[in-house]
Amino acid sequence: MSDATREEECVIALDVGGTGMKGALFDQGMRPLDTTHRPTPRADGPPAVLDAMVDTLLALNRMAVGRGLWVRHAGVVVPGIVDDELQRAVWSANIGWRDLPLAALLEERSGLPVTLGHDVRAGGAAECALGAARGARNVLFVAIGTGIAAALVCDGEPIRAGGYAGELGHVVVESGGEACACGGSGCLETVASAAAVAAAYAARTGRSVAGAADVAALTAQGDPAARAVWARAVTGLADALATATALLAPELVVLGGGLAEADRLLLDPVRAGLEARLTFHRRPRIVRAELGDRAGCLGAGLAAWQAAHRTGAPAR
């Protein structure tokens, strides 16, 4: 294949979240050639979300055709439990589907070859390839947003376990604590997710806040209630990371998602808390993610290129 032909190729990437979808066309250098953002109609149920995903893939394909590009493959990442090997969306509390052959449905309805993956594992792969974890072989990537999930890389290999690995948000950090949406209680998500931080501040003060960023700002200003809520979240994170460190011995912990936007206000006390909990263990460096909310889409693009190179011929 000539260099000229290579330049005419691209992949589609689609990162589906509970509130919005981020789509992009990427060339082989992972440069975005075009992008789109659309709402996720989860309130209308799983069939409506599937329709919106198909429409977005088709719109991105039209963008590619308009640029004279060949789409080699499409990478789609979603939240919940995703079985990469079977290419099925096993379960998602955000969207509501269960045991759905999602890749096959998207391929049938869009006419595009599709690889399905998990949004946080995709974000972790992107941080390892392009971001804060470049060159590291043992990495724990933690996305702290509305929920909390992790991507695990050990000796250079991702750990998937049928899609069930990485559920750090459901490690219990407060025995007998608050009820969690998963059906348990005292999970890390009930303490340290962005949603939990905002809700805890409102419960303590009777004053609602727009989100965890407001609590972070109030913490920095010395607000006593905000500082108590923030300290509880940090304690929970340090406890969960100590457990993960004992089991996985990461050399690097990458914190991403909305809560990590607080930067040193979060990272410094989490570093200190983790250090205080470790004895003989390997001490991981704790750093902030570099790719922000682009990580999932970039990871979907990387997966699409990997699939394209495995399968060979481009799609027209």
pLDDT for 309 beyond 90? yes
**Are 3-118+294-311 and 132-289 equal in CATH topology?**
yes
- Burial class from Cβ neighbours inside 10 Å (0-12, 13-18, 19+) for residue 304 reads buried
- What backbone phi and psi angles, to 5 degrees, belong to 142? -120, 120
- Position 3 scores a pLDDT of 43
Alpha helices in 79-176 (DSSP H): 102-110, 119-130
pLDDT for 25 beyond 80? yes
- Position 313 scores a pLDDT of 55
Q: Does this model's pTM top 0.85?
A: yes
Domain boundaries, the chain: 3-118+294-311, 132-289
**pLDDT band per the 50, 70, 90 thresholds, residue 7:** low
- The dotted CATH code for 132-289 is 3.30.420.40
3-class SS of residue 246: helix
CATH of 3-118+294-311, one of 3.40.50.720, 3.30.700.30, 3.30.420.40, 3.40.50.620: 3.30.420.40
Are residues 132 and 139 in contact, defined by beta-carbon separation less than 8 angstroms? no
Q: Which helix (H) or strand (E) holds 13?
A: strand 9-16
Q: How far apart are CA 140 and CA 270, in angstroms?
A: 14
Which of 14, 3, 4 lies closest to 73, judged by CA?
14
Q: DSSP state, 278?
A: -
**pLDDT band per the 50, 70, 90 thresholds, residue 5:** very low
Lookup result for tokens 């890389």:
153
Are residues 91 and 162 in contact, defined by beta-carbon separation less than 8 angstroms? no
Listed in sequence order, the residues at least 6 apart from 211 whose beta carbon sits closer than 8 Å to its beta carbon are 194, 198, 258
Are residues 77 and 301 in contact, defined by beta-carbon separation less than 8 angstroms? no
pLDDT for 315 beyond 60? no
pLDDT for 124 beyond 60? yes
pLDDT for 168 beyond 50? yes
